Amino acid sequence: MRRISPVLQQDGVEPELIALLKTILAACREISFRVSQGELAGVLGSTLGENIQGETQKKLDVIANELLKEVILETGVVKAISSEEEDHIVAGNPQGKYLVTFDPLDGSSNTDINSLIGTIFSILPADPAKAPDDASLFLQPGTAQVAAGYVLYGPSTMLALTTGHGTRLYTLDNTYGGFLLTGDQAAIPKYTTEFALNMSNQRFWQEPMQRYVADLLLGKTGPRGKNFNMRWIAAMVGDVHRVLCRGGIFAYPRDTKDSTKPDKLRLMYEANPMSFLVEQAGGISSTGYERIMEIIPTDIHQRVAVILGSKHEVETCIGYHKA
């Protein structure tokens, strides 16, 4: 099993980017430790505040955000960062080559029940002509990403990472404190019989998604001619990890439950990095109408519908949207 640096070096990844990734992972190791301590460290439960998304912040949300923000800005190679937990971007080194976006603790509502949570991050090139406090720095399509990944805090702490040379899986070895390669070149099966959706929102979905899921539920007696199983972790990082490991389709479609927020997932902090990982593993990612990684953001906290996973199943779902 190999460590991260030699693997990235063989792919021709720039030394500065390797150093930045190692710094992000150092913060994630600390988050992993805090998560593992749980109530013993007094990190469970909620704060009295809300983030820019209007969501109640968990204590671990704040801790993870501060850890990542501090170590990333100290690298000197980052021009600015943007976090799901921050109202605005945070400026770094004006000469920095990179931008970093992150969801410090995806699925944080799971912390109090000891279920899966994770950190999602994306790295973009920085425009040297723009100031580090200019939010338009981040308004780039997902295709511009130079790296993306997540760290899953579960029974073992795992990393999924891509720099555009496939998606690899690593496991944190606590004996020496580093991530070791345990899954070279993840490959999402083209076909699947598993889907991950929040079925409680079914009545609020658009008609194409309603028809698609209704046909899944009919199983062998329906037009799909086979039985499907549903899996739902309520943390995107956990559901996407399952897709990377054994296939499936994950979706958080547009709904009418809240007219001010028809889409749930954030383009820059969740949808783009996960789409990069999935596409590099042979899957596809779409809103149902367009490729997610080709969307030009208009706001750093923009939300989008997400449908990603096994190629044939996502294409089938997209077909319902085009009918």
Assess whether 201 and 176 both reside in one domain.
Answer: no
Q: 176 CB contacts (<8 Å, ≥6 apart)?
A: none
**pTM of this prediction?**
0.95
Question: Would you say residue 100 lies in a domain?
Answer: yes
Q: At which of 183, 207, 227 does a domain end?
A: 183
Assess whether 251 and 108 both reside in one domain.
Answer: no
Distance CA 232, CA 33 (A): 25
Assess whether 281 and 198 both reside in one domain.
Answer: yes
Assess whether 161 and 261 both reside in one domain.
Answer: no
Assess whether 229 and 140 both reside in one domain.
Answer: no
Assess whether 257 and 171 both reside in one domain.
Answer: no
Assess whether 102 and 128 both reside in one domain.
Answer: yes
Q: 109 labelled as ligand-binding?
A: yes
Which secondary-structure segment (H or E) carries 15? helix 15-37
Distance CA 280, CA 266 (A): 20
Q: 308 CB contacts (<8 Å, ≥6 apart)?
A: 240, 243, 249, 250, 251, 274, 275, 278, 283, 284, 285, 286, 292, 314
What was the pLDDT predicted at 176? 84
Q: 198 labelled as ligand-binding?
A: yes
What was the pLDDT predicted at 145? 98
Output the CA–CA distances (angstroms, integers) from residue 322 to 102, 190, 258, 295, in the order listed.
32, 21, 24, 18
Q: 84 labelled as ligand-binding?
A: yes
**Type of residue numbered 89:** I
Q: Could you tell me where the DSSP H helices lie in 159-235?
A: 207-217
State the greatest distance between any 2 C-alpha atoms of the chain, in Å, as a whole number.
Answer: 61
**Which residues are registered as beta bridge partners of 102?**
83, 121
Question: Would you say residue 189 lies in a domain?
Answer: no
Q: At which of 127, 157, 183 does a domain end?
A: 183
Assess whether 71 and 165 both reside in one domain.
Answer: yes
Assess whether 151 and 263 both reside in one domain.
Answer: no
Q: How many domains does the chain have?
A: 2
- Cβ atoms of residues 125 and 143 within 8 Å: no
Assess whether 223 and 266 both reside in one domain.
Answer: yes
Residue 263: is it exposed, middle or buried by C-beta count within 10 angstroms (0-12/13-18/19+)? middle
Which secondary-structure segment (H or E) carries 252? strand 249-252
Assess whether 198 and 275 both reside in one domain.
Answer: yes
Q: At which of 183, 204, 219 does a domain end?
A: 183
Q: 108 labelled as ligand-binding?
A: yes
- Cβ atoms of residues 172 and 32 within 8 Å: yes
> Can you give the CATH number for the domain in which 283 is found?
3.40.190.80
What was the pLDDT predicted at 56? 61
Assess whether 218 and 312 both reside in one domain.
Answer: yes
Half-sphere exposure of 81 (CA within 13 A, CB side): 26
Find tokens 């190999």 and name the residue. 2
Question: Would you say residue 260 lies in a domain?
Answer: yes
Range(s) of the domain holding residue 299: 194-322
What was the pLDDT predicted at 53? 60
Q: Which residues of the chain have pLDDT under 50?
A: 48
What was the pLDDT predicted at 101? 98
Question: Would you say residue 69 lies in a domain?
Answer: yes
What was the pLDDT predicted at 58? 79
